[in-house]
Amino acid sequence: MAATKVLAIVLAGGEGKRLMPLTADRAKPAVPFGGIYRMVDFVLSNLVNGHYLKIVVLTQYKSHSLDRHITKTWRMSTLLGNYVAPVPAQQRLGPHWFAGSADAIYQSLNLITDDCPDIVIVFGADHIYRMDPGQMVRQHVATGAGVTVAGIRQPRSMSDQFGVIEVAEGSNRITAFREKPADPPGLPDSPDEIFASMGNYVFSTDVLIDAVTKDAADPDSKHDMGGNIIPMLVERGEAAVYDFRDNDVPGTTDRDRGYWRDVGTLDSFYDAHMDLISVHPVFNLYNHEWPIYTDHPPWPPAKFVHGYQGRVGRAVNSMVAPGVVVSGSLVENSVLSPGVTVHSYAHVDGTVLMGGVQVGRHAVVRNAIVDKNVVIPEGAQIGVDLDRDRERFTVSDGGIVVIGKGQKVDP
């Protein structure tokens, strides 16, 4: 029997408005995460670890840094025809950009027809998680569904935050797909839970082509995968759910099993970083059986210098990337990216510092996200007086101070 041919499509074209100012100069999937990674590395690592090695990444907004990262980092062996290819919006079907995620696939159908896969995986590019996609594909093939939607169990009280999947009792058939409903029914086997859509889909190729083609002809459609394509296939009785709880990723711990976070807001982006740094992390980057791949410049090892008279370079409950220098200062509960320098007597706490940030002597940076190449001057205080911070920077609903890439900071 011939092996099932699979093509993976990663949707990476969203603007990421809710992550401003982090997305002022880059696409959302290109936003740095976890010290050395980009968001897109997580979905690509899941696909590659699952042995799906023909991958296209559909991009649109501010895609240069994303395209460059993919091109430099994600190189496959060409001997067997494997590839990870960024594909920008090309206006193949007329002078207009992607009108939505379904339209992005419709305008890129040549990628599917050129490769002739049996199955098309369609995953988002901006979630932090581990998942073996092969287990979802195997269920899809076994059930004969037209589309299989990954669902993660969430409390029913949180249903107004997700696309909610309703299922038939005793089966995985989807009976309804509702966007942020106020009071949906609970799951048949767990009345206090709902299935939230993870934005990950597995399609039979002919079903996907037919659905996006019909959707493209509908002038009233928003051309969205979750909002239009999945409800269409639910109505046709061709949609099934895959319970993410059943996904068994090698090397996971009991604490981080089933972890998934949509980092679509500044607060969720910050919280996902805090999930990395506890002694027993909620999301464990140290799983060597299912690694998260990336590439970064050849920085030297991190360095901690000075160790006398209170001028001690140290980091506690923190992740410190290569190229960081902690010089006579204290770093707590933070994530520091390559090239960061924290100068003497400074105090960094509960903070995400991206590449090249400089924190001056005696400065205090607390509960903040600081984008690349920002210089915090000597004696400055960030996250101490939120009223003053709101006059200068972005402050999230949860009180996290966010300083944009290269933004000038006054003392």
Per the annotation, where are the binding residues for alpha-D-glucose 1-phosphate? 163, 179-180, 197
d(CA 320, CA 24): 25
DSSP 325: E
Report yes or no: 41 and 152 within 8 Å, Cβ to Cβ: no
Give the DSSP H/E element, type plus range, for residue 33: strand 32-33
Distance spanning both ends of the chain, measured CA to CA: 69
Residue 13: count of CB within 10 angstroms of its CB: 25
| Binding positions | 163, 179-180, 197
Report yes or no: 148 and 201 within 8 Å, Cβ to Cβ: yes
Q: Describe the chain by its helix, strand, coil percentages, rounded to 5.
A: 25, 30, 45
Q: Which residues contact 176 (CB under 8 A, 6 or more apart)?
A: 165, 166, 234
Structure-block tokens of residue 155: 């409390």
Torsion of CA 170, 176, 178, 183, to 10 degrees: -60
Helices 40-49, 64-73: axis angle to 10 degrees equals: 30
- Residue whose pair of structure tokens reads 């996902």 in the numeric block: 272
DSSP-H helix ranges across 151-282 = 205-216, 230-235, 266-274
Least Cα distance to 248 among 6, 54, 49 occurs for: 49
